[in-house]
A and B are shown apart, each in its own frame.
Chain A
Amino acid sequence: MGAYSSLVYPAVLVVSGALVVLGVATLIAVGTHRVLQWAVTAAYVVVGLQALWVAALLLSGTKASLVVTLGYLVATVALLPLLGIGRLGHPDAALEDPDPSRPVLAPDQIARVDAGAAIAVGIALAVASWRITVLLGGGS
């Protein structure tokens, strides 16, 4: 638990904060989108690390509710595909979809969609990770 609460959990919070800050920055200046994409990659890494670490903690025995903790853990992983969701509006992606109502986005719109998603996911990721840490007895 020590390494989780002193290393993995803070890393998740830092990346979540970076997603929110860079999301806001991208809404203001679209050029920041490239930096936001690095933060998205970092989010995949830290959430993957958190999933492995928490799974190991649960397997090694803990007082935390297995169902609730696993639920939050699955939620943190399920949030990841929403990062970079602007790619669904890329003209090439839309061409492959017969749905006429599918949105097609310009590059600056893709950046803004990714920014909005990063803000929402960053907040949700931080809350879910905080709940996991509390359940594992590492926070208040």
Chain B
Amino acid sequence: MNPVARIVLIVVYSILGLAATGRATVQIIESFSEAPLAYTLSAISAALYVLIAVALWRGWETVALVGSSLELFGVLVVGTLGVVDSTLWPDETVWTGYGSGYGWVPVLLPLAALYFLVKGRQRRAAANR
């Protein structure tokens, strides 16, 4: 994987992990009963961001690949469900509106991560041939 892209992705995942962890912590401490599913999803997304950041740093490419795929799946499902039925989410999560509250970074970031991870694997496979 391109080392520049790898470290920049780690930085952005760390920032998003920090933001999502803060959001989830406040939501769960202050008003978990109001929207348990939404706030649990916030906590899951926070954990996923931190896991992907660590995986990218430690070179656990498969973990990063699976994590980014899960993240993309989550943001697409939560975003689409919000469009289909706006009453489904009593409160916002990081992934609501495809991550519009975070400048759509939550939907763009896994796409970038998957691009660089897959490209890195393809390059390595080509070099091994």
Binding site for B on A (CB under 8 A): 67-68, 71-72, 75, 78-79, 82, 85-86, 88-89, 99-105, 109, 112-113, 116-117, 120-121, 123-124
Taking Cβ atoms with an 8 Å cutoff, the residues of B that contact A are: 3-4, 6-8, 10-12, 14-15, 18-19, 22, 25-26, 29-30, 58-59, 103
**Given contact pairs A75-B19, A120-B15, A121-B15, A68 touches B7 in the complex (Cβ within 8 A):** no
Q: In the complex, how many angstroms separate the beta carbon of A92 from the nearest chain B beta carbon? A: 16
Task: Assess whether B11 is in contact with A82, with CB atoms less than 8 Å apart.
Answer: yes
Assess whether A113 is in contact with B22, with CB atoms less than 8 Å apart: no
Query: Is the Cβ of A103 less than 8 Å from the Cβ of B3?
Result: yes
- The interface residues of chain A lying within 8 Å CB-to-CB of B12 are 120
| Cβ–Cβ contact B26 & A124, under 8 A | no
Is A124 a contact partner of B8 (Cβ separation < 8 A)?
Answer: no
Secondary structure at the B interface, as helix, strand, loop or mixed, is helix
In the complex, which residue of chain B has the Cβ closest to the Cβ of A72?
B22
Given known contacts A67-B26, A101-B58, A124-B19, A117 and B11 CB-to-CB distance under 8 angstroms = yes
- Of chain B, the residue at the smallest CB distance from A74 is B22
Whether A82 pairs with B15 at a CB distance below 8 angstroms is yes
Known contacts being A79-B18, A99-B58, A101-B58, is A117 close to B4, with CB within 8 Å? no
Please measure, in the bound complex, the distance between the C-alpha atom of A123 and the C-alpha atom of B19, giving whole angstroms: 13
Q: State the CA gap A79–B11 with chains docked (Å).
A: 9
CB distance from B1 to the nearest CB of A (A): 9
